[in-house]
Amino acid sequence: MSQAAKQIEATIRATSGKGAARAVRRAGRVPAVIYGGGTDPVAISLDFNSTKKLIFAGHFLTTVFEVSVDGAKTRVIPRDYQLDPVRDQPLHVDFLRITAGQKIRVEVPVHVINQAASPGVKRGGAVNIVMHAVEMLVPPDAIPDGLTVDLTGVEIGKSIHISNIQLPANCVPVDKNDITLVTIVGKGTKDEEPAATPVAVAPAGDAAKKPAADAKK
């Protein structure tokens, strides 16, 4: 999916380190860093409220941004962020610079469609999503919304592998194996355990008649 970069205003942080980061937070801002692209990391700070809204709006880690610092703009994508474990407030953000011709790793969600068109589902089968997301190498400006798995005509016991679906242009899975995305399982088959094999019980007293070598086995 082609996407226009969202804009973020930032300011340079004169110093880095834990003490400097705490000072930034006390000032009501979020410490961040821009790295990669063959250039030295740049320590920046972001507006707290704007950053919190962007993170909780969803798709933060798959959105391309243009960070403006003193009028200079840098295309980036968030690689990680930290939240306060108690208050869920942003503590730090890591941005990766985007360079021409580059591909980046992202988690692409798996979307299942046409469940009602599956004869296996109609006969009482259950949809088992094996992979909810797949790590892929994608162009930063064409991050797909998801991988579509169509269950039309899929019977109980059948699986959909990544080789069975149409992948977005210029996007390749990181895992080179033909991974299973979705299966249709019958009722009771998912957690069913094999029946125990009957064990013959010898009559009382027979054990004492066995040779000593057998008794040790």
Q: Are residues 119 and 151 in the same domain?
A: yes
Least Cα distance to 63 among 82, 77, 51, 53 occurs for 77
Q: Are residues 60 and 130 in the same domain?
A: no
**29 inside domain:** yes
Rounded Cα distance, 81 and 76, in Å: 14
Q: Are residues 93 and 33 in the same domain?
A: yes
Give the pLDDT band of residue 50 (cuts 50, 70, 90). Answer: very high
For 115, the domain range is: 104-185
Q: Are residues 110 and 91 in the same domain?
A: no
pLDDT in tens, 139-178: 988 899 999 999 999 999 999 999 999 999 889 999 999 9
Rounded Cα distance, 31 and 81, in Å: 10
Give the pLDDT band of residue 217 (cuts 50, 70, 90). Answer: very low
What is the pTM assigned to this prediction?
A: 0.71
71 pLDDT above the threshold of 90: no
Give the pLDDT band of residue 188 (cuts 50, 70, 90). Answer: low
pLDDT recorded at residue 163 = 96
> What is the CATH number for 140?
2.170.120.20
**203 inside domain:** no
Least Cα distance to 87 among 129, 25, 175 occurs for 25
14 pLDDT above the threshold of 90: no
Rounded Cα distance, 20 and 159, in Å: 52
Give the pLDDT band of residue 200 (cuts 50, 70, 90). Answer: very low
Residue found under tokens 């226009």 = 4
Q: Are residues 93 and 133 in the same domain?
A: no
Q: Are residues 111 and 80 in the same domain?
A: no
Domain final residue, candidates 70, 97, 124 = 97
